[in-house]
A and B are shown apart, each in its own frame.
Chain A
């Protein structure tokens, strides 16, 4: 495959970042926005070509005769060579998941670029302060995220991982004059950095014991000793196990070091993907502009953790203990976030918690995936959900942005009954809700159904648990929907200033994403993205593949659960009634805990301020201030005093100097003579 296209996919956003970042202030707002959007549009086209070529061209480097998809390294240049074995490369890897991400990221990113042209202006059409900077950062983010997904080795991934974190930090703190935005950006950065510490240690352990950074080598069996870097078939678990039978990995604290490495790497993923207990940054990250929340904190960046686990999945299969941890963390997070989402007032917070919950679904799905059950169905389901979730969650966030833009508040208490005023937003939001709730035929139904089937195959307990969370998902999404668009009539004081649908730059992305959310479920993922590259089903892919392979016993139950949940939400929130208040008063303790997000933030506050700052940092600060600084100050004090004491020697009397010199010279002479004698 020609390397021009893949190279351009990375270079264009980087160039746009530099152009808009360096020369943005000299351009008009309109030009900067148009340039950024056009640049992203070009990337969109190029990525689509690349991804579709990978999936559908049938070229022998992409797919074998038997229909097994291969990993293909487009290019892989040596960037830093420390020693013969320690080499850091930068490259472009095409395989099913990276090709899928090449569809997801530019699509969402382009929609957000387009949407921001309308969103980042006020009602009079005046552009927001820092509009060019906003587009520069969006380009930087797109570059980093694309670099992350196409990484050929874990070190490249780590570099872009941090770049993604940095651009997320910049965009959360976009309104840097607002203290809450500043502290939110700091919180996001510090929490994810803390998680990345684990990631880095994990990388070091892993590469120390395997002797390589390359994904191609890590996730495949060595063929005749050396793996062919440019073209390696996706592998079997037996192959990787063979890699370690010669030199079993040593044990550490009751688990093999490989388990430790994988758990530590997962910790990095937990930070980025906001898994409990490192989820606390994501709700606060909603301080950024809403398009940013849609792009980074819902659709693309936060799934980087899922992507990471998927990327290293063959390794995780070796150490199923790590997968079990992933399942537990994911399942607890999913339930927790769904509970909290039921009580929040800020609509972006509800969506943020729903994002946490949905990402946890993907994590669980990867965690329960085993090759024995339906050819690793969980892996496919997790990736499928990643794909569909990106589309409908971006849609929901962009709708929320339109609502916030129209109303000027984040709280549903200021909205209520908007369905007549903003019909396009209403319909698209409803589609998003139906998709996330898992109603046939919208996108979420198929992917969530696959996840539940995978859970069912793994353990009945997790199946029931996740079905419950799926029901909660439907409930809180429709609670939000009804509270925004129904509940009671919207009070309009002045008919000229009634809320209305936004300009076409904002509604067009909504419509497109809503259309995608309707049909994305029919993408035959079983033929495209599987853990070992082999198609999951016999026969040929068609539009109805997913429908045909539906396990109706599971699908029927999940559909029933979703519909019941929606009916409950309808009964409680469609019209103004005292039922929610009654329920709240019936379980005040539970409601309080959910509303305050189970006091996680307070717990962190306590741990960081009282324990870490109080018991560890204060003594260290004392030591620094009094012992280390004291020693330095003492040195300076002594020097100072000594200089003052002897400065009289410099009297300005020249003949005095001569006397001293003479005396010194004679003394030296005398000493020399004595020594010689």
Chain B
């Protein structure tokens, strides 16, 4: 059985949709962050796959993914720091309670 590009893209799409679903439904900020990571990772898979199947002789997509992973790690650290500070202030990390940033 040939493994074509579609075998990768479908799980990636499922992962992305799960991420979106989780991001808009979960109220816990940590859970939202995890959903966000899920979306990012699905995009990373896309990069690698497209690189492998469309431009086999090159490595740009791979490197892009490596960078994206590194940046995702940094961004997660930042997000966790923000969430901890919000928790310190309000003993609560429910996103529906954090609505001060409005008009």
A residues near B (Cβ < 8 Å) are 647-648, 650-655, 658-659, 662
Contact = CB atoms under 8 A, between A and B. Distances in A.
Interface string B86-103: 000000000110111111
A386 B100 CA distance: 82
Interface of B: 20, 23-24, 95-96, 98-103
Contacts of B20: 662
8 contacts: A647-B103, A650-B103, A651-B102, A652-B102, A653-B96, A653-B99, A654-B98, A662-B20
B12 to A, nearest CB: 17
A651 B99 CA distance: 7
Contacts of B98: 652, 654
A664 to B, nearest CB: 14
B68 to A, nearest CB: 20
A651 B95 CA distance: 13
Given A651-B99, A651-B102, A652-B98, 14 more contacts: A648-B103, A650-B103, A652-B100, A652-B101, A652-B102, A654-B95, A654-B98, A655-B23, A655-B24, A655-B96, A658-B23, A658-B24, A659-B24, A662-B24
Nearest to B27: A655
B36 to A, nearest CB: 10
A652 B103 CA distance: 8
B39 to A, nearest CB: 11
A47 to B, nearest CB: 73
B34 to A, nearest CB: 15
A650 B24 contact: no
B5 to A, nearest CB: 20
Nearest to A647: B103
Contacts of B103: 647-648, 650
Contacts of A658: 23-24
Nearest to A655: B24
A655 B95 contact: yes
Q: Which of A648, A652, A662 has most B Cβ within 10 Å?
A: A652
Pairs A-B, 10 closest by C-beta atoms: A652-B102, A652-B99, A647-B103, A650-B103, A652-B101, A658-B24, A650-B102, A655-B24, A651-B102, A653-B99
Contacts of A650: 102-103
A11 B58 CA distance: 75
Contacts of A651: 99, 102
A562 to B, nearest CB: 88
A647 B20 CA distance: 26
Nearest to B99: A652
Contacts of A648: 103
